[in-house]
Amino acid sequence: MPKVRTKDLLEKFGLKLISGEEGINRPINTSDISRPGIEMAGYFTYYPAERIQLLGKTELTFIEKLKPDEIKTRMEKLCTDVTPCIIVSRDMEIPQDLVDACERESVPLLRSNEKTTRLSSRITNFLESKLAPSTAIHGVLVDIYGVGVLITGKSGVGKSETALELVKRGHRLVADDCVEIRQEDKDTLIGNSPELIEHLLEIRGLGIINVMTLFGAGAVRSFKRITLVMNLELWDQTKQYDRLGLEEEKMRIIDTDITKLTVPVRPGRNLAVIIEVAAMNFRLKRMGVNAAEEFSARLTGVIEDHEQEDI
């Protein structure tokens, strides 16, 4: 199913439909927008017909200088069976030949009262968000001190119970059980909850609870950028866990590498506090303060001092 159709733009930006109503359900598959100035001059060799065509003051005033037969020919070439729509900005008057061509080819012709550059920017941002690569991951997403922490682990390890404790400590739940993730930029992952389970938390033995109803609107948020992954796993006596924090593991989600920390789970460990401190420590590292590296440097200095004394 197409993620975005022409009618979505019509509703989102309050555009006015002039003609071509039959094509209102055409899919939009790219966030790129074309301003067909060179096409108005007659050069259609590399015409990007699959893009939204945006006509502003420059294009429309140029059309006025063309001969009637040139206007008709170029308006017809502008309308193809893959063109999602043609949008005219600034509430400008639309050539009748374009209205007729759009009606014949069922290309939606829309009009906006916004300035061309502003409208282009808004539509591009909307389409990039909707058409961004996406995936879904089993886990819990919580906003901890401004850090988007994705808690992962096998079913039953205690992810939701940990999230509940974090919410009680004043942090905000984004999603439980299933986290929908979209890559909006090269290194930007945005997580949100599926609409069906938004604000809900499942606690074994207790059932499903509504976090917003219980703890208030300040305990939830709709989406959050993911910057840290906390993987919970049952304690394995044979496995060697990192005790200094010098090693930094990465987890690849779509095309982005996210810092991943593995926390062993066993009775007596307060996971909420550990994750809370991990988020604070992650913030400190981004500010240039790394306790593990400082300790390593101090230890190296002490060893070197002792070696010199022995000499």
Q: Which of 51, 159, 171, 182 is labelled catalytic?
A: 159
For residue 121, say whether it is annotated as part of any ligand binding site.
no
For residue 159, say whether it is annotated as part of any ligand binding site.
yes
SS3 296: helix
For residue 216, say whether it is annotated as part of any ligand binding site.
no
Work out the number of other CB atoms within 10 angstroms of the CB of residue 253. 20
For residue 153, say whether it is annotated as part of any ligand binding site.
yes
SS3 91: coil
Tell me whether residue 239 is exposed, middle or buried, using C-beta atoms within 10 angstroms of its C-beta: 0 to 12, 13 to 18, 19 or more. Answer: exposed
159-168 vs 271-286: helix crossing angle, rounded to 10: 70
The label of the residue with tokens 């810092």 reads: 259
252 tagged catalytic = no
159 tagged catalytic = yes
Tell me whether residue 193 is exposed, middle or buried, using C-beta atoms within 10 angstroms of its C-beta: 0 to 12, 13 to 18, 19 or more. Answer: buried
Q: Which of 67, 239, 243, 266 is labelled catalytic?
A: 243
Contacts of 236-240 with C-beta under 8 Å, sequence gap 24+, read: 236/264, 239/264
d(CA 123, CA 129): 10
306 tagged catalytic = no
Type and span of the H or E element at 261? strand 256-265
Strands 16-19 and 178-185: unpaired
For residue 67, say whether it is annotated as part of any ligand binding site.
no
For residue 22, say whether it is annotated as part of any ligand binding site.
no
For residue 14, say whether it is annotated as part of any ligand binding site.
no
Q: Which of 100, 177, 225, 285 is labelled catalytic?
A: 177
In three-state form (DSSP H/G/I as H, E/B as E, the rest C), the secondary structure along 38-62 is HHHCCCCCCCCCCCEEEECHHHHHH
d(CA 113, CA 91): 5
Q: Which of 16, 138, 204, 306 is labelled catalytic?
A: 138
What would the DSSP string read from start to end of 55-83? E-HHHHHHHTTS-HHHHHHHHHHH--TT-
Q: Please give the annotated binding residues for Mg(2+), written as ranges.
A: 160, 202
- Residues catalogued as catalytic: 138, 159, 177, 243
Q: Please give the annotated binding residues, written as ranges.
A: 153-160, 202
